[in-house]
Amino acid sequence: MNPDMENRFKRAREIIENGDYFRILTHYDVDGVCSAGIVAKYLLQHGKNFHISFFRNAESSEIINIVNNEDYVILTDLGSSFVAKMKGDVIVLDHHKPPADNEEIVHINPHIFGYDGAHDACASTLAYYLTEDPRIARFALAGIFGDKQHLGGFTGLNLELLDSMGIRPQENLVLHGEVLDAVVYSTEPFFPGLSGKPEVVGKILEKLKISPTKKIEELSEEEKVKLGSYLSLVLVRESQVPEAGRFIVGMDVDMGGSVRYLTELLDSAARSDEQSVALGYILGEDGNLERMEILRKRYKSEVINNIYEMLNNYFTRGHVIYFFAPNGYLTSSLATIASLYLFPPDRVIVGIYVDAQVHISVRCSKYFARKFHLGEILREICAFLGGQGGGHSVAAGCTLPKGKEEEFLELLNEKIEKGISQ
């Protein structure tokens, strides 16, 4: 690890040692919940009190108001985009590309120290290095998996974390639980015509001579090959993404159970607006596991139904494919699935949800990310349109004033056209 980064972690621990009550502000998704949960557990272990608030959108004015009215504040998975406005005993653990640094507070962001915040470290990684507690490593890994930073192999601080604990990831089928349910409730990968279709899946398993109630982990190697090959063909046949067939096999880590599956459980609770259930589990409330199982099936069913709806109601504008989501918690999930499994890599996917404001999630392929940085594009557009935005090279989001949707789409398409023509 970069020595300057280590010094900032040391300063952060000193602030925690000096304080008694901390306000934790974090993002609502799995990385936000895991990073905040790791920090909260650390505070409890050191006899500190805390209060956690979850944010779907990082509204700088609301957050800055809280920061200015609290003695000790810790922000995880957000904060770097408006870090210059902070002062005092504030710790920021964020991995989104910052417009600037601020040494008046403890600002810990991988981009400042030569790492890539889109792949080398997420907020949960940073929370782990703050606490240095191997007992919560599986939640750090859940944050990493939730932010898709494991794709293509572990790098940077994520790899250092694994190496320090002697953990070796393994490649296996990306499904978990009983075979029928595993396929029916699968969203990543999303199997068109199979996900959400128990009768269809049941007939296929009968043809493959695989018991629908047998657990994926209990399948013989021959059965795994048969099931994996069939599902891979579905992805190749139904998807416009060239490498989609390979997504049936993926990386996982066994830490008293599958980290990939743990990620799904925590993520489903977080995106069902029941972050307290996921947080409680991280803090040791094992009884919350059953509740997360219920939330997982409920949330994935909602995602699957809306994917089919989206496939019948999307729009194309130049290099952009966009759709309208029924609620704010679905926009990012639908945009991610659409980008990874359903639409060609030469399109940017935009999910839009409108209430009092316009909430937008944007995704693009790794091929486009070589041409432009989505987070920087959204930050520029939002500054012009009077909103707030940012994120990573392949995944970003923003909030705009209502009525700015058309202008946003036009500006986004212009900037994409300019990026790919260079």
Q: Are residues 144 and 243 in the same domain?
A: no
9 and 29 part of one domain: yes
Residue 180 and residue 159 share a domain: no
Q: Write down which residue in 139, 166, 193 finishes a domain.
A: 166
Q: Is the same domain home to 153 and 22?
A: yes
Range of the domain at 102: 3-166
- Res 26 pLDDT > 90: yes
Peptide bond into 189 cis (omega under 30): yes
pLDDT top residue among 48 and 62: 48
350-405 residue pLDDT tens: 999 998 889 999 998 887 878 888 889 999 999 899 988 888 888 888 899 999 99
Beta pairing, strands 315-317 & 320-324: antiparallel
The average pLDDT across 70-89 equals 93
pLDDT tens digits, 310-359: 999 999 999 999 999 988 888 989 999 999 889 988 899 999 999 888 99
pLDDT at 9: 97
Q: Does residue 201 lie in a domain region? A: yes
Number of domains in the chain: 3
> So what's the pLDDT on residue 57?
66
Convert the pLDDT of each residue in 127-169 to its tens digit: 999 999 999 999 999 999 999 899 888 999 999 999 999 989 9
Same structural domain for residues 160 and 183? no
Residues 6+ apart with CB under 8 A from 135: none
Better-scored residue on pLDDT, 62 or 230: 230
Paired tokens of 415: 């900037």
CATH code, domain carrying 158: 3.90.1640.30
**In Å, how far are 111, 198, 242, 314, 411 from 320, measured between CA atoms?**
28, 33, 19, 10, 11
Closest CA to 145 of 163, 124, 166: 124
In this prediction, residue 161 carries a pLDDT of: 95
In this structure, are 236 and 150 located in the same domain? no
Q: What distance in Å separates the CA atoms of residue 195 and residue 187, rounded to the nearest whole number?
A: 7
DSSP annotation of 369: H
Please indicate, yes or no, whether residues 52 and 147 belong to a single structural domain of this protein. yes
Q: How many CB atoms lie within 10 A of CB 94?
A: 27
What's CA 292's distance to the chain center, in Å? 17
Contact 301, 294 (CB under 8 A): no
Closest alpha carbon to 157 in 98, 101, 165: 165
Selection from 76-80, 201-205, 418-422 with the highest mean pLDDT: 201-205
Q: Do residue 70 and residue 194 come from a single domain?
A: no
Residues 69 and 135 in one domain: yes
Domain stop point among 120, 151, 166: 166
Asked which of 119, 150, 166 is the last residue of a domain, the reply is 166
Q: What is the CATH number of the domain that holds 219?
A: 1.10.8
Residues 110 and 201 in one domain: no
Task: Tell me: do 334 and 230 sit in the same domain.
Answer: no
Check residue 160 and give left, alpha or beta (phi > 0: left; psi -120 to 50: alpha): alpha
Does the residue 389 lie in any domain? yes
* 406: its two tokens: 């058309």
Q: Indicate whether 191 and 89 sit together in one domain.
A: no
CB 391 within 8 A of CB 397: yes
Span 244-300, pLDDT tens digits: 778 888 899 998 889 999 999 999 999 998 999 999 999 999 999 999 999 999 999
